[in-house]
Every structure is written in C-alpha cells, then in structure tokens.
Structure 1
C-alpha cells in the first residue's frame, strides 16, 4: 500500500503557504510560501515525494473555503492532483491558535486535519451550477444596493421632517407622493438623484428576474423548481436560489441534516444537568438561510388553509402528490406560527422556527420523500 502525503494550503489572493505531512510518520516533510501559482504547487508536491523517499506516494491536498472559491480546486483537478475544500467550521483547531496564528501554522493545521480526517469537505458543484449560482448572487448584490438606497431616501426625507401619510411604502402611491413633494431646489435635486438611482436598480433587478426565469426553464432545473414553487412564499427566484445553492440534496441523509446545513438549528451550551439552548448556529449557506427566512415571512400571511390565486396558478399542472404535500406543509406551518405567536414567543424566533421546518419540507420535495 502506497503512503500518502497530505499537503495543507493556506491560500490568499497573492500567496499560498504550503505544508506537507507524511501519513506514515506524521512528520513535516516540507514547508514553504509561494506566489499564487498552481505550477509551484505541483513542484512542491514532487519535492515532498522525493523527501519522503517514495516518488510514487499518493498526494492529497486541501485548503479552507474562502476567497478562491472553487478555482484552485479545478486547477489542481486538471493536473490530476486530488484536492478537497475544507469547511472551516468543522476543522479541529488548537487552542494556541487564539494567541499565535500565522499562515505557516494555518497550513500545518490544514495538513493535520487532512491526515486525521477531522473535517468535512465542501461540496463542489458542477460548472453549470456555478454559473447559475454566480448570477443569482450578482442579483442579490443589486437587491442589497436597492435596499440601501431605499433606506437612504427614507432617512433623507425624515431629516427634512417629511413623513409619508400612507401605510405601505414603495408602491405607486408612495412614489407619486415623493415625486410631487414641493422642496427647495437643492433638496429637490438630491431627492431626484436618489429616485433616479432607485428606478435604475429596480429596472435592472426586474431584468435579472426575467433572465432567471429563462434559466429556470432549463431541463436540469425546470422540474424541481416548479415543484418548489407549489409552496406558498416560494417564487422562481427563491426556488432557483435554494436548488442551485444546495445542488445535490441527496448528500443529506435526512431533513434534519439539511436544516442544520442551512444554519437554522439552535446551538447548545449544556453541561451536566443544565441544558442551555442558544441562538441558531448560522453555519452553512447564508444565501439559503436568508431565502428561507424571507419565504417564511410570506408563508405565514393569510388565512390558514386558504390558497390564493397566485399559489393556485403556480400549482397548475403539477403532480397531485406534490400539491397535497405542499398544501399540508403550508397549513402545518401556518398553524405552528399562530400557535407560537399566541404563546407570546418573539416573532423573529417564530419566523426562524418556521424557516427551519420549511427547509425540511423542501428537502422532502427535492428528494422525493413526499408520502
């Protein structure tokens, strides 16, 4: 049986710190710091093999998930070099790291985790999913900018002592009110510039949504996205976000594992007879978690068990089993919401609980567990 050399890589934009560890002895074979170049990694691996005395030794490399995304993984895979991306939250880290931390020690720690198998690897989606994921995240960035410009407009008008008399903001009546305000020329110019930016961002986001609708019609996405849309609160954009960001639902053995991946399960700090539940872990994919929270906000509205025209339209043409499953899920979650609110549970906690269970129902649709 060939020995294995584990190469830990602490990667940054311009430099990589490398550390090679032998599985046979646990000794450090080589350490170095190089410029960000996969050719130099390949040379380092050959040198580590020579130092181990076994030129045919297997090599396993790894780096923490971070700024490089999957790019280095693909570069090394193209060279036939085995590579894994380590989830930082799952790695074992020495207590000394809190007082003494540098790139060399980080590379050593990554190599040690590889050798001890004390980590969980990040799932690497295929290239098509990555392209779609990046498009969705780009749209998310523009949504964040739109939210910020809304806040800036509201703050500007409040500083002028102007308050909108209606209830709902950013509807045609609210926009008409702002455009009709009589202000001093300088203030009017400022507000017009803000509104111009608001209109520009709104138009671009609508264009992005249209493009995403086209992507959702691809064969690889269409069936599951349309099934997810049977759930109240899930539209095409949120269905695509959840489906693409997760990529492969079969890697989760059960619904609880998926909700944990979304970071929606509560943390725990218990000892002896004391059981202390904390806030949610917020580990895993933040995009999915945010989307589920937003979907839960919509799902709990309305009368329990009553479907609106929009939901009926989305369910048209779908499998009866999927529709029944989605309706039962929504009714259960709405009842749970009202029950927890009646018990005076904080609404944010309630919405998070609804989002956590919604993730479980989504896992059921994606994996076919709808009986």
Structure 2
C-alpha cells in the first residue's frame, strides 16, 4: 500500500515472538551492548546537576528578556565589561521607564533575583554532598585540570559516570559527540561537523574548559591549591595536558588559521582523553600502553607459540623433519615495550643463535619443509 516501506515480508507485524527472535539474532552476532545503570546515589547527584543546569538556562533567558526590554526603549549600557555585576545591577535599578514598562522591568529584576538565589542554594547543596558521594575521587582529580573546578567536575562525573567503562579514549570522545561526522564512499572521504551525540551538558562543559588553554601554560595559586592533596602522577598528567593542548590551540589557530570556535571544539576533544586518564589513574586503565595495541611482525604473529620461547638443543636436530616442534624458531629477539615505562627494560639483545653444529642440519630441514609443504609451513616452524 501507499506509504508503506518495501522491506522484507512480514516486517510490519509486531509480536512478542518476532521481537524475541530479533533480540536472539542480535545476541548471536554480539550486536547488543550492555548499559550501565546508575546507582541511587549517583542518580541523585546527577539530578541535582541537571537541575542546576536548568536554572542556568532559565536565568540566561530572563536576563535576555530584560536586555531586550531596555533595547526596545532605546536604553543601552555602554559599559559592556560590567554586565550583570553589582555595578550593572545598580544601573538597572536606576532606570525609569514609566507606566507599565517600569512594572515589567521590576518583575524581570525580581525573577532574576529569585533564580540567582535558587542557583546559589543548589550549588551549596552540591558542594555539601559531593565529598560523601561516589564521585568524590573523580571530582577531586578533575579539579586538578585548568579550566575545571567543582561544578564542572561534578557535571562531567555525573554525566559520564564510570570513565573506565569505555575501553579507549576515542570511545569516550564518540560517546560525547566530539568526533567529526563522516560520509565516505570508496576512495572519497568526507568529514563534516561533530556528531553531537551524547550529553549536551558534558560537551558544553568541555568546550568551555577548552577556552582556558589558549593561555600560556602556568600553575597559578588557585590551581596549586586544588592539586595539593593529589598524587604526583595526576599533577604530571595535568601539566602535560596544559602543554599539549596549548600547543594544539596555537597550531590550529595561528598556523592553520582555524576559527577559534572550531579550535575550542578540537581542544575539547583531546581534553576528554586527559580527563579520562586522570579519572582512571591507578585503575589499570590510563594513558599507558596496553597489550594488543601495537602490531607485531607478521612472521612472529604467525608463530603459534611465539610467546613461550624454548631453547633449542642439539638433540632436537637429529630427528626427522616431522619432529620439529611448532614453537622452534631460529632467532629470538625481545622487543622493548613502547611507552613511558620503556626505561625499566634497558635495550639488550635477546638473540639465541642455534649451536654451530646444527646449522647445516637446520638448513637442510628448512629446505625440506619448503619443498614438501611450502614456505608458510617453514615460517610457522622457524619464525
């Protein structure tokens, strides 16, 4: 019929049995991902943070209404640097519009005062509950970052939850919608604006914090006070983030001429990785190298038992070709692990050459393997 999609037959019928079969099929191909359910305490903090975010939006709209009211009457404050300060508030109260316009002005001022008072009460409640909440440690560590204080740290922790539940920093960037969208086909690659998925609140907090990194890296008195009781490794990651993100900002803004708004989003994307590194420090998942991240040589990867080398003896060279164990390799060399802990493993040669009396026999046996079974078998047998 008109307006109905031309999909598979029977897709328009929805029953419990069809839904169960569809879920079973998705489970068989591992296409469903588990969702982490927040605890009661975590959900309470998250509701408080979102209530404070709603108040922030209401306060911003109330101030805009008041500004437009004055603009319609031709009244503009020339001193834009003192917007919504005590000086600006005294200037607003001194305005006399007369008639109903004056009543509207007073009503807007009363609404703004009420919202400011409610916001202060919520902020005090959040600051009181955070030390005893599950987010106490992540918040304290996130506050070591430049541009992130208590409210921003609580907002990020409440919206993201457990930072370690995502395996890689790139997954967290994608979860927050800070990665570029893509529409590619074949050899053509097209990337567009960010996807914008996930929490808008967390994304806004990260972008606002990213603006602080256009300044020269420094540790002010306030930042040092927040970092006082934190581990040295967390403080080191914070300083590393300052240097790197400032370099990224200068490279994109000055050298490549990108708009500052685009640069702020790009810096916020990398800031996400550093926030995850700080929050997951000492939990077995940080910025350090992880097993399986680095590719090995194809011959080494093709060896079934390359992880358990065994020294070759002269007795093994006197048997038939079929007696060669699959883990026997001609040379063994241990690769120095990459990353910051490479200094703990000094560079040394782990080659273990075969005894000189077996070299000729080994060459004959390797040649026999290649003749009988092909080079692939010889690679698996000898590395």
Out of 186, 190, 201, the residue aligned to residue 272 of structure 1 is 186
User: Any conservation in 2 of the 1:325–1:370 contact (CA below 8 Å)?
Assistant: no
Aligned mates of 2:271, 2:16 — CA distance in 1:
37
Deviation at 1:307, TM superposition (A): 2.8
**Counterpart residue number, 2:90:** 176
Matches within 5 A, 1:310-321: 310-321=222-233
Question: Alpha-carbon deviation of 1:181?
Answer: 1.7
CA deviations 1:14-57 (Å, max 9, x no partner) are xxxxxxxxxxxxxxxxxxxxxxxxxxxxxxxxxxxxxxxxxxxx
Q: Check 1:321–1:339 CA distance in 2 against 1; reply closer, same or farther (3 A cut).
A: same
After superposition, the Cα gap between the structure-2 partners of 1:107 and 1:181, relative to the gap in structure 1 and judged at 3 Å, is farther
Tell me the equivalent position of 2:47: 134
Q: Which of residues 350, 361, 366 in structure 1 aligns to 2:274?
A: 361
Q: How far 1:365 sits from its partner (Å)?
A: 0.8
**Residue 111 of structure 1: how far off its partner (Å):** 6.3
Supply the distance in 1 between the matched residues of 2:69 and 2:53 (Cα, whole angstroms): 24
186 and 318 in structure 1: CA distance in 2 versus 1, 3 angstrom threshold:
same
**Cα–Cα, structure 1 residues 153 and 219, in superposed 2: closer, same or farther, change >3 Å?**
closer
**By how many angstroms is 1:224 displaced?**
1.8
Counting only pairs closer than 5 Å after superposition, residues 221-260 of structure 1 correspond to structure 2 as: 221-260=135-174
Instruction: Flag as ranges the 4+ runs of structure 1 deviating above 6 A.
Output: none
CA radius of gyration, larger in:
2
Cα 1:96–1:199 change in 2 (3 A) is: farther
Query: In 1, Cα distance between the equivalents of 2:13 and 2:73?
Result: 51
- The structure in which a higher percent of residues are strand is 1
How far off its partner does 1:352 sit? 0.9
Q: Distance in 2 between matches of 1:159 and 1:334?
A: 42
Paired residues, number: 274
1:195 and 2:109 aligned? yes
1:339 corresponds, among 234, 248, 251, to 251
Structure-2 separation of matches of 1:111 and 1:131? 37
CA displacement at 1:186 relative to structure 2 = 2.3
Shift of residue 262 of structure 1? 0.9
1:322 match: 234
| 1:154 match | 67
How has the CA–CA distance of structure 1 residues 253 and 272 changed in structure 2, closer, same or farther, with 3 Å as cutoff?
same
CA RMSD in angstroms comes to 2.7
Distance 1:105 1:356, change over 3 A: farther
Aligned partners of 1:278, 1:139: CA distance in 2, in Å? Answer: 32
Residue pair 1:322, 1:370 contacting (<8 A) in 2 also: no
Is 1:295 equivalent to 2:209 in the alignment? yes
CA drift of 1:264 comes to 0.6
Partner of residue 76, structure 2:
163
Give distance in 1, aligned partners of 2:170 and 2:53.
Answer: 27
Residue aligned with 2:193, SS: strand
Q: Deviations over 1:202-228 (max 9, x none)?
A: 111111111111121115222221110
Q: Quick one: distance in 2 between partners of 1:183 and 1:193?
A: 13
Secondary structure of 1:279's counterpart equals strand
Distance change in 2, residues 1:186/1:333 (3 Å): same
